[in-house]
Amino acid sequence: MSETYQKLKNSTLDEQRAAIRSGAYRSHTAGLGQGHLQANLAIMPEAYALDFMRFCQRNPKPCPLTGVSDTGNPMMFTLGRDIDIRTDVPAYNIYRDGKLAGSASDISDIWRDDLVVFALGCSFTFEHALMRAGIPVWHIDNDKTVPMFRSNVETVPAGPFSGKMVVSMRAIPESRVSEAIEISRRFPLAHGAPVYWGDPAGLGIADLSAPDWGDPSPIGPGEVPVFWACGVTPQVAIEAARLPLCITHKPGHMLITDVAEDAEAPVLTFTNDKT
């Protein structure tokens, strides 16, 4: 486990955000932001925003919508008073015409006045609750990124957005699967209960040691692979839509918000102060 990651795990939310904003920390956010909602991102021109919002509404498990910015405003005031979407994520993926064109830790130089930000809840949020209950989370304990896989489950299309659902996998002791299901069910803003557990072939996954994103996670004796809907699903839909420009988080590298992990609604009561 890296010294920087271990130090950040024991730091305050403000210290974690400052490290991310400055570029000092550019790795995954699993295990960070304890007690707060983490979010996936999709940033796109306003011309495509309504169709994408429909896509999220039709696919609430992989795309639990937790915030939408004003057009051209990078300050996500409903999720945190000082959150600046251009700098407050450890790593971004930049798509052009549906293809991954590069990654960055700061998108200030490509920000435009027509961009709209969508924040979607992330399963990293409920991992703290699993750990408090004594259920191990291997990728956090080993400073890795959760494994993510393209499944055979089709999403409900909207406009140009469509594609297969992405799932994240955690190995859970068989005796505690029911408990893990009930714990995660309490976090509907973070994908809620899993969509599947057991033989990965049922989701069309051939090899758990070869995730499409993230790091391989072993399945130990007496453990069961459990799969949750994943916020990387929009990145698959964005590839299919071939938007001229779209920016997302790099898988595993989330926005950490000020919203409590168990909030009934993902909205802070701050004034919209555009700075």
Q: State pLDDT tens for residues 182-240.
A: 999 999 988 999 999 999 999 999 999 999 999 999 999 999 999 999 989 998 999 99
What is the arithmetic mean of pLDDT over 23-35? 89
Query: How is 212-247 classified by DSSP, letter by letter?
Result: SBS------TTEEEEEEE-TTHHHHHHHHHT-S-EE
Which segments of 35-133 does DSSP mark as H helices, in order?
Answer: 49-58, 124-132
Query: How is 150-172 classified by DSSP, letter by letter?
Result: EEEEEPPPBTTB--EEEEEEEEE
Residue 157 forms part of a structural domain: yes
What is the reported pLDDT for 213?
94
192 within 8 A of 116, measured Cβ to Cβ? no
What pTM was estimated for this model as a whole? 0.89
- The residue segments making up the domain with residue 224 are 126-229
**184 shares its domain with 83:** no
**111 shares its domain with 60:** yes
Residue 220 forms part of a structural domain: yes
**17 shares its domain with 82:** yes
**72 shares its domain with 116:** yes
What is the arithmetic mean of pLDDT over 112-120? 97
**113 shares its domain with 146:** no
**74 shares its domain with 207:** no
Residue 164 forms part of a structural domain: yes
What is the arithmetic mean of pLDDT over 39-67? 96
Position 270 pLDDT exceeds 60: no
**8 shares its domain with 118:** yes
**143 shares its domain with 184:** yes
The structural domain count of the chain equals 2
Q: What is the mean pLDDT of the chain?
A: 92
- Rounded distance, CA 123 to CA 146, Å? 10
**255 shares its domain with 224:** no
User: Which CATH number belongs to the domain containing residue 45 in this structure?
Assistant: 3.40.1640.10
What is the reported pLDDT for 274?
46
More confident residue, 271 or 25: 25
**113 shares its domain with 147:** no
User: Which CATH number belongs to the domain containing residue 201 in this structure?
Assistant: 3.30.2040.10
**36 shares its domain with 70:** yes
Residue 272 forms part of a structural domain: no
**102 shares its domain with 134:** no
